[in-house]
Each structure stands twice: as structure tokens, then as C-alpha cells.
Amino acid sequence: MTRRLTIARFLILAAVAACTPSSQTTARTDSTGTAKSTGAATSVAGTRIAVPRTTPAGEWQMPGGDYSSSRFSDLSQITAANAVNLRASWTFSTGVLRGHEGQPLVVNNTMYVVTPYPNVSYAIDLTQAGQPLKWKFRPENSQAATGQACCDVVNRGAAYADGKIFYNLLDGHTVAVDASTGKQLWRTKVADLTRGETMTMAPIVVKGKVLVGSSGGEMGVRGWLAAIDASTGKEVWRGYNTGSDRDMKVGPRFKAFYAQDNGKDLGLTSWPGDTWKQGGGAVWGWLSYDPELNLVYYGTSNPGPWNEGVRKGDNKWSCAIMARDADTGELRWAFQVTPHDMWDYDTVNENILVDLPLGGTTRKTLVHFDRNGFGYTIDRATGEVLVAQPFVQMNWSTGVDLKTGRPNVVPEKMTAEGKNVKDICPSLEGGKNQQPAAFSPRTGLFYVPTNNLCMDFEVRPVSYIPGTPYIGANAPEKKGPGGHGGEFIAWDATTGKKVWGIEEPFPVWGGALATAGGVVFYGTLDGWFKAVDASSGKELWKFKVGSGVVGNPISYLGPDGKQYIAVYSGIGGDMGLLIAGDVAANLPYDVRERGSTLPDLGRWTSWGGMLFVFSL
């Protein structure tokens, strides 16, 4: 493992840190954990989280911690100086052994956990020793869904609002559960399992509407974002990501920043024939919201199928960042990150809303680390690309043309039927996948879990059969140059430069947490949960949990006034289940051989399903 560090940057950060008041905890949090929010805390001039938390700093009410998806906690008891004293406080078995992506919530001294399929939820009482359950909720959930989900039966978490817990079921339903009793309040079918739509993403709740989307980019679905009334469970609006302007909710208020992205019915005309009907563009990643602009941001998945010959054209709006009016669902702007994708570079990764100093002024930006390997800093009001630089090793593109926003593609790395293109970097898992990054206003840096993988890509004919995969390619993967599988990096989004990095033997498939104490947390596929110094990347502490980490750490304040860090352990997802294969050891009728991509992963971990909670 190596650390790379820009010394000058480190010195500046160290100086900034030294000049910052250190009494954050007492200043910002009262003893009951219901203190006022300080999400706007600024240490680097002109830098702030766009949407200050209006919820208590000691809680974690939405998937990304706040509407900005910053995954920043204002708690600061755990510092670079004392992190070495971290220890496991308590654990909880979820009773499920599949990929534990996502994160728990903490509200009113209660922790809410949602499991992978069958999507059981638990309310854990944090006020009592031994953490007994208040309730558990076992939803109806069709078993057939397990065979329609492309990449393990994961769930990326719940959202809390107004005394209710909202989350998605794999079989295409969204449920609302009473947070105090565990009673189901409503259950609404929003996705069609018979057409390959499953649900794995974490909703957010905006002004009484629950926003959800479906998975199925590998199943020939037609992607959408829907808003459900949080009180009644009735669908309020739905905006498709392909098809006519009417279906897409494109009207007079739509304005893309780049000329080529404006025009009538682009969701139809950028596809041959009816191919947009099975064109993918699913919404299985993360949502963000800016109340001032009243825009909801999300990314769309790869176009289907992977065989690009079936769908010549830009394939709008697959692989795009979308900004919709939160009330009406109207599409306000869209930016297609990878037009006519031919490598499975979904754009579903999180969009982190941060104001940053750029060109002498403070810009309202959205920072996005795409599967295609570029880290984008984008004007979140207009969709203009301000910075786009590679954050991992790549060879499919020479850079992004800032006049058009489009990547310059290396012709030899273009895939096509009848070709087997060798050594494309990053691989189809992307420079980063679903594992969300975190941002700290105290360092001005983004903390990004990344993959270092390359692939060969052989395209074959494919036919659309509803309810079966719609792919048409074989793409074996391997570790990229350097031989490490991933790297946990700190990124400066104003310059598009890596500040430091920690190389990991395996792709870093767990998310990041940044804290006001100057400590950043992340977990690894081989089961290490780590605390590192936010400024230098120095490893401060690590603990070997029972199973690989593909979940995202959170921080909360316990009823005892102590800061806790919680994270799921439970390997799975695309990387942990499909690629590694042999980590699944418990099914006598499904014994898998180890995969060539990560041939040693099974030595370090097996399936599991545990919540780990740490404190000083």
C-alpha cells in the first residue's frame, strides 16, 4: 500500500486545519443530539455544502446525510489524534447474507436498517444496553425478483421524513412504514417486474414527495424517475429518460447548456426506430436536491443493449445527468456524459452539491465521479461542464471537450459487433461504481472510492426477450496498470486533481464518510474498515470486520452523547458476488468457481450480513 501526496497542498491544508477552532462538538451539538445543523461549516474559502442540514447533526435521516449527498458529519469527537482508540461498541446481524450496500439511518435515538432481499427493516432502540428491537417489518416481496436483479439483490437504503420510513422493495414496490410502530402505511407498485424492472435505489423525500427510480439497465427497461405522495402512496408524476418530449416532461422550461443537446424529441430521434423502448437509462443510483433551484438531480444508466450496433445515435438520455423540477417533474436541463455509450459506463453515480471557488467567483456546482473515469465539476443551475479530468487510469478517451461537453473517444477502443477490443480502461465497473464519495468543507476535498480495472469487450448479437437480460457482449475484467484493484483518493474538484491516494488490493466498493473531526472512513472488499486522516490520507486505524464492506459508513450521536460510526459488513453486489463468485459459499446447489478478475478475494472474506458500530 502506498500513499501519494502533494506536499504543498498538504501544508496548506495543515495550516488551515491549525487555524480552525477545534471545539466543534460543544459548539455544534447539545447533549441530547438534537442540536442545530451546521452543514454549511466552511474551512476553505468559498467552499460550502450547498444545502445545509436542517436536521440534527447527531442524526442521519437521508441516504447521503443531507440533500447535497455530501456524506459529511459535523460530529468531531473522533479526531486524527484519537482515532487510534476506536473500538467496536456493538454489532447486529441482519439475518441476510447478500450484498449490504447502502447505510442505516438514525432518527430520535433509533437506528433503521434495511436488508438486501427480502428487504426486512429493523428499528433498533439505541437508548438501551444490548440495543433491542422496537419492531421489525417483513414486507411481501416476490421471490421472482431475485432472478431479475442483474447485480445481486442489494438495497441502498431508506429515507426518513415526517415520522415515516420510505424504501424500495426488489420486486418493484415502494413502501412507507410508520417509524414508531413498524406498521405498513402504504405499498405502491411502481416498477414492472415482468419487464425486468427491479428496485434497489435509495429514495429521497422532497416536500412531501418520495422520489424513486428502477434498476434494469441490463434487462432492456425504459428508465424513469417517479414522485409518490408521501401521505397517500399515490404516484404524482413520472418522467421517462427516453422517448417523446411529452413522456420525458420536456417543455419550454428545458434548456440544455450545449447546443447539440437542445431540439425536439431527442429522446426519440437519437435512437433508431423503437429501440428507445428498451433503451435502458434506468435510475438505480443516488438522488440529490437543491431547494433554492428546486431541482432534483440524478443520473441515468447505460443504454441497452451493450451491443451498440442495435442503437446507432446518441441514445438520449442514457448515461446522462438530469435536473428535474421537484414539484412538477419537468426536465429543466440534462447533460449526456457519455453519448452513445459502448462500454457500459452508467452515469448513476451520486451528484454532490457543493459551492466551490472557481475562476475567482463562487460557483454553484455539482460534482460527479462517473463510471467513464472522468471527475466532473458542473454548474448545477445550467449543466455547464467547468472541470472534467480523469480520476483513474483510462485509455478510452483523451479528454472532455469543454466546448461541447463530449469526451474525445480513442477510435481503437470503440466496441462493435464482430470485434473483440482488448484492454479498455476503466472496465465496465467504471472508475467508480455505486459506492458514494464524501465531501468535507473543512478540507475542500472529495473522498472517492475508486476501481482500477480494465476489460476486453467482445460484442455479440442479442435479441430482446422481456424478463431476460438484454446485453450482447462478453467483457472479462482484470486489474489495471499497477496491479492494485482500487484506490481511495482525495480529489480537488476545483482543479480536477488527485491530492492523495491509498492503493487497495481490491476495488474499493464501499462508500466514504467525511467528519468534522478531520477523519475519513471507508471499508474494503477484503473486510477492512479504516479511518484515515482527511488532510494527508495517513491511515489512523483499521478493524477487520466479518465480511467485505460494500456499504457506506455513517456517523451519529448516541443517547450517551458519544459519537458513533456505523457501517454494514456483507460482501455482494456486482463486484462481490458476480465477479468474485467463490465468496458465496453457503449454497449447496450453486457452488461457484473463483473468477479471474479477483482470484484471491475469496481468501479474505465470505458472505455475511452484519452492522458494526464503533466509538472511542
Partner 1 sequence: MRQSHVVACSVAILAAFAAAQSQIGRTGPNASVTDFVRFVAHPDNIPVGLPSRDYSLPLVNPYEGNAQALKTGAQLYVAYNCIDCHGADGSGAMGPSLADSRWHFGGTPAEVFESIYEGRPDGMPTWGGRITNDQIWMLVTYVRSLSAGKDVATENFAGATVERTGH
- Interface with partner 1, residue 420, by CB under 8 A: no
Q: How far, rounded to the nearest angstrom, does the alpha carbon of residue 125 sit from its chain's CA centroid?
A: 27
Q: Least distance (Å) from partner 1 to the CB of residue 157?
A: 20
Nearest residue to 340 via CA among 390, 371, 306: 306
Task: Considering only the stretches 82-90, 414-422, 424-432, 557-565, report the one whose residues sit in contact with partner 1 under the rule CB under 8 A.
Answer: 424-432
- Interface with partner 1, residue 477, by CB under 8 A: yes
- Kindly state the DSSP code that residue 110 receives in the 8-state scheme: E
Residue number with CB closer to partner 1 (118 or 239):
118
- Interface with partner 1, residue 578, by CB under 8 A: yes
Handedness of CA 400, 406, 410, 414 (dihedral sign): positive
Residue number with CB closer to partner 1 (150 or 386):
150
User: Among 61, 115, 121, 148, which residue sits at the site for partner 1 (rule: CB under 8 A)?
Assistant: 148
The three-state (H, E, C) secondary structure of 275-343, written as one string? HHHHCECCCCCCCEEECCCCEEEEECCCECCCCHHHHCCCCCCCCEEEEEECCCCCEEEEEECCCCCCC
- Interface with partner 1, residue 603, by CB under 8 A: yes
Residue number with CB closer to partner 1 (129 or 593):
593
**254 to each of 9, 522, 602, how far by Cα in Å?**
40, 38, 49
User: Among 581, 605, 609, 615, which residue sits at the site for partner 1 (rule: CB under 8 A)?
Assistant: 581
Q: Strand order of the sheet with strand 438-440? A: 3-5, 497-504, 486-492, 445-451, 438-440
Residue number with CB closer to partner 1 (305 or 444):
305
Count of residues that bind partner 1 according to CB under 8 A: 50
User: Among 235, 599, 610, 616, which residue sits at the site for partner 1 (rule: CB under 8 A)?
Assistant: 599
User: Among 11, 88, 144, 402, which residue sits at the site for partner 1 (rule: CB under 8 A)?
Assistant: 144
Give the three-state DSSP class for 373. Answer: coil
Burial class, 418, CB count within 10 angstroms (exposed 0-12 / middle 13-18 / buried 19+): exposed
Q: How far, rounded to the nearest angstrom, does the alpha carbon of residue 616 sit from its chain's CA centroid?
A: 28
Task: Enumerate the H helices of 202-291 as residue ranges.
Answer: 245-248, 266-269
Task: Considering only the stretches 45-53, 71-79, 540-548, 589-597, report the one whose residues sit in contact with partner 1 under the rule CB under 8 A.
Answer: 589-597
Q: Least distance (Å) from partner 1 to the CB of residue 467?
A: 6
Residue number with CB closer to partner 1 (55 or 301):
301
HSE-up of 551 (CA within 13 Å, CB side)?
36
β-strand partners of 502: 3, 488
> From residue 344 to residue 383, what is the string marking binding to partner 1 with x (rule CB under 8 A)?
x---------------------------------------
Residue number with CB closer to partner 1 (295 or 459):
459
User: How far is 393 from 450, CA to CA, in rounded Å?
Assistant: 10
User: Among 149, 210, 282, 348, which residue sits at the site for partner 1 (rule: CB under 8 A)?
Assistant: 149
- Interface with partner 1, residue 562, by CB under 8 A: no
Q: Least distance (Å) from partner 1 to the CB of residue 369?
A: 18
- Kindly state the DSSP code that residue 410 receives in the 8-state scheme: P
- Interface with partner 1, residue 147, by CB under 8 A: yes
Please state the φ and ψ torsions of residue 230, each to the nearest 5 degrees: -65, -25
Q: Least distance (Å) from partner 1 to the CB of residue 584?
A: 9
Whether the upstream peptide bond of residue 505 has omega within 30° of 0, thus cis, is no
- Interface with partner 1, residue 574, by CB under 8 A: yes
Task: Considering only the stretches 13-21, 43-51, 512-520, 588-596, report the one whose residues sit in contact with partner 1 under the rule CB under 8 A.
Answer: 588-596
- Specify whether the CB–CB gap between 522 and 510 falls below 8 A: yes
User: Among 364, 595, 606, 616, which residue sits at the site for partner 1 (rule: CB under 8 A)?
Assistant: 595
Whether the upstream peptide bond of residue 139 has omega within 30° of 0, thus cis, is no
Residues with catalytic roles? 218, 302, 344
- Interface with partner 1, residue 418, by CB under 8 A: no
Residue number with CB closer to partner 1 (463 or 495):
463
User: Among 163, 463, 482, 560, which residue sits at the site for partner 1 (rule: CB under 8 A)?
Assistant: 463
Whether the upstream peptide bond of residue 426 has omega within 30° of 0, thus cis, is yes
- Interface with partner 1, residue 572, by CB under 8 A: no
**List of residues 6+ apart from 513 with CB closer than 8 A:** 71, 73, 438, 520, 521, 522, 552, 553, 554, 555, 565
Residue number with CB closer to partner 1 (147 or 291):
147
Query: Buried (b) or exposed (e) across 71-83, using 16+ Cβ within 10 A?
Result: bbbbbbbbbbeeb
- Interface with partner 1, residue 229, by CB under 8 A: no
HSE-up of 525 (CA within 13 Å, CB side)?
31
Q: Least distance (Å) from partner 1 to the CB of residue 239?
A: 24
Residue number with CB closer to partner 1 (499 or 579):
579
Please state the φ and ψ torsions of residue 368, each to the nearest 5 degrees: -140, 125
Binding positions for partner 1, 187-226, rule CB under 8 A: 217-218
Handedness of CA 243, 430, 568, 581 (dihedral sign): positive
**List of residues 6+ apart from 610 with CB closer than 8 A:** 91, 92, 93, 94, 545, 546, 547, 568, 569, 570
User: Among 475, 499, 532, 534, which residue sits at the site for partner 1 (rule: CB under 8 A)?
Assistant: 475
User: Among 93, 128, 495, 596, which residue sits at the site for partner 1 (rule: CB under 8 A)?
Assistant: 596
Residue number with CB closer to partner 1 (81 or 587):
587
User: Among 436, 602, 608, 609, which residue sits at the site for partner 1 (rule: CB under 8 A)?
Assistant: 602
- Interface with partner 1, residue 589, by CB under 8 A: yes
Task: Considering only the stretches 145-153, 228-236, 287-295, 485-493, report the one whose residues sit in contact with partner 1 under the rule CB under 8 A.
Answer: 145-153
Q: Least distance (Å) from partner 1 to the CB of residue 304?
A: 11
- Sort residue 482 into left (φ over 0), alpha (ψ -120 to 50) or beta: left
User: Among 46, 182, 309, 467, which residue sits at the site for partner 1 (rule: CB under 8 A)?
Assistant: 467
User: How far is 104 from 160, CA to CA, in rounded Å?
Assistant: 11
Centre a 10 Å sphere on the Cβ of residue 513 and count the other Cβ atoms it contains: 28
Residue number with CB closer to partner 1 (97 or 475):
475
Residues that bind partner 1 (CB under 8 A): 143-151, 217-218, 344, 427-429, 460, 462-463, 465, 467-471, 473-477, 574-575, 578-579, 581-582, 587-597, 599-600, 602-603
